[in-house]
Structure 1
Amino acid sequence: MRNSFLFYLYHGGVEGNRLDGVLPQFDRVLNDVCGLIDDTIRDLVVSSIWKASLEGFMWVLLDGGPSRAFSDTDIIMIEEDFNMLKDLFVADGDGLPRSLVEEEAKFYRQILSLFSLPTESLVQMLMASSEHISDSVNSKKYGQRYLGDAHTLIRVLCHKKDREASKFLKSHYRLPPSSGYDEGAGEDSSFSSPLVADIWKRSASFRWSEKGQSSFRSIKKRLQEATWR
């Protein structure tokens, strides 16, 4: 189930690789698990599977690699899939309590909502949070992220199918453009949005602290080696 979820979902495009392609397998696994365990621990076990599913879903969105880049239209479909996943675990009242499912999903929905923000807003949030980047890029679990986390914001920009985002990443972090745009598109250093251009100019002259500079080098190196290889 893990492989079909992580390596199928949205790989190469959202529309043709949506959640409904793996839901039957999910449903079978949940039924098998519930049939093997005592009712007294059913909710505890299924809740653990729900949490793991949420982390897997976010891995696809934030660390899924260059084969996954999401447009505004894609995000609408992904939000539908996210609701579909929640409904699977609620199971029309026969599964986990709706309140528990919604509570666990709250943080992940907030992360998903970042993809709907304009690139200008994401860049502003990133520049405001850059001093808080730690050296442990890959050590954080998703539950330890927060909406202003620079690691999360960079990953959202990396997977956002948006020309402004691609130009910003290439110009500021020397990262390849997202899979939605070819290399040539990234060569043009001009930005169609005056606000993004202004933010980029100001960020280029920003005086980073020694810790901030070290953290940026660390995160850029790891993103180049892992996220975009």
Structure 2
Amino acid sequence: ISIHCGAGVLRLQSLKFLLEKMSQLEKDIVPQWMEMQRNASLLEHPDATFEIVGKQWFEGLMAGAKQALHRAINVVSSQTAYCVIYRDMQSEFLDNIYYTGVHRSCDNITSDVLPFLDGVLGYVASRLDSQSRNVVAAALLEATVSGWMRVLLDGGPARVFTSGDIEPLEEEVEILSDFFIAGGQGLDAAMVAERVAPMTALLSIMSLSTNDLTKNYEEQATKEAAAAMTGAHAPSKPSSDPNADVFNSEVTLRVICHRADHAASKWIKARFSIGKTESSGGWFAF
């Protein structure tokens, strides 16, 4: 286990300890506050059960402190997860998977990523309670999807994809989802579906033909340019849509640039006035 994961778990243990102590402190102080009010003769009868003066203020103070601790737990979990994906797994994940194509490569999510994540989650589960473990697991899933999408959209010249790659990629999405659901022992299925939704949306874009992709790009670019001129937002998707970030001209163009297709290469050269270059002679020379 890396230093990033170990340090993150240690911080989470500290935050969880503070949260538990704060809850206990709240339980101890409220009765003492009530007793102090009685002793000060601020209540007409020692057995009175109506609201104690100042109790709401203290409860609000404690609630705010606990909310701050919960936010800190979420932030630390997210930082730890992204360090695991973008630092600890940079070679295995960002540099290696699909390096020679989805079908040709023996490096993929199932073989390279999940075994490492399994070790991380095992380490986390043995040191944190189930609630904190699930927060870390959700952050790891989000970071994994982020890194995976980066591979598909910003993978460099060695990574190109075809429409035939969609089926095995969809299978890996299912495997990843099942891994985090863990037969009902892990994350909630609805939460997992929400976290992998951007990846699913991206695959739906990648499944389009080159002709449809180029048409979509022109339409999206035109709408976005018009929206920029008027200062409005492009009307591509509602802001409440969790997949809205992938339905734009930039993502569509990246998909076209990573398309192993002569028509895509020809369109890019014509659209952006790129001169002819010699064939690289690599796996996907087109």
After TM superposition, give the deviation of residue 122 of structure 1 in Å.
0.7
Residue number in structure 2 paired with 1:51: 142
What are the residue-to-residue correspondences of 1:74-113 with 2, within 5 Å? 74-113=165-204
User: By how many angstroms is 1:40 displaced?
Assistant: 2.6
For residue 36 of structure 1, give the secondary structure of its aligned residue in structure 2: coil
CA offsets 1:178-220 (integer angstroms, 9 cap, x no match):
97653xx5xxxxxxxxxxxxxxxxxxxxxxxxxxxxxxxxxxx
Asked whether the 8 Å contact 2:162–2:260 carries over to 1, the reply is: yes
Structure 1 unmatched ranges of 5 or more: 135-141, 186-229
Q: Which residue of 2 aligns with 1:64?
A: 155
Structure 1's 165 and 5: CA in aligned 2 closer, same or farther, altered over 3 A?
Answer: same
1:196 equivalent in structure 2: none
Q: CA separation in 2, counterparts of 1:93 and 1:161? A: 39
Corresponding residue for residue 188 of structure 1: none
Contact (CA 8 Å) 1:163, 1:181: kept in 2 or not?
A: no
How many angstroms apart in 1 are the aligned matches of 2:212 and 2:264?
11
**Which residue of the other structure, out of 13, 17, 32, is the alignment partner of 2:107?**
17
Q: Is the 8 A contact 1:6 1:60 kept in 2?
A: yes
- How far has the Cα of 1:146 moved from its partner? 3.5
Q: Work out the CA distance in 2 between the residues paired with 1:171 and 1:180.
A: 23
User: Where do residues 32-47 of structure 1 align in structure 2 (5 Å cutoff)?
Assistant: 32-47=123-138
Instruction: Show the counterpart of 1:146.
Output: 246
Whichever of the two has the greater Rg, that structure is 2
Which of 34-43 and 5-14 deviates more? 34-43
Q: Which AA in structure 2 matches 1:60?
A: V
Structure 2: runs of 5 or more not aligned: 1-87, 229-241
- Structure 2 residue aligned with 1:123: 214
Deviates more, 1:1-10 or 1:158-167: 1-10
State the match for 1:7 in structure 2. 95
Partner of 1:156: 255
Q: Distance in 1 between matches of 2:271 and 2:207?
A: 22
Shift of 1:47: 0.7
Relative CO higher for 1 or 2, CA cutoff 8 Å, sep ≥ 6? 1
Whether the 8 Å CA contact 1:51–1:104 is kept in 2: the answer is yes
Question: Identity of aligned pairs, percent?
Answer: 31
Q: CA deviation at 1:72?
A: 2.1
Deviation of residue 20 (structure 1)?
2.0
Q: CA separation of 1:2/1:144 partners in 2, compared to 1, >3 Å: closer, same or farther? A: farther
Contact 1:43 1:96 in 2 (8 A): yes
Query: Do the aligned residues in 1 keep the contact of 2:138 with 2:187 (CA within 8 Å)?
Result: yes
1:72-104 deviations in Å (ceiling 9; x for gaps) = 222211111111111111111111011100012
Give the length in aligned residue pairs.
175
Report the Cα distance in structure 1 between the residues aligned to 2:205 and 2:243, rounded to whole angstroms.
Answer: 16
**Contact in 2 for aligned 1:69/1:180 (Cα 8 Å):** no
SS at match of 1:30: helix
Let me know the Cα RMSD of the aligned residues.
Answer: 2.4
Retained in 2: the 8 A contact 1:72–1:116?
yes
Give the drift of 1:30. 1.5
Cα distance between partner residues in 1 of 2:131 and 2:117: 22
What letter matches 2:153 in structure 1? L
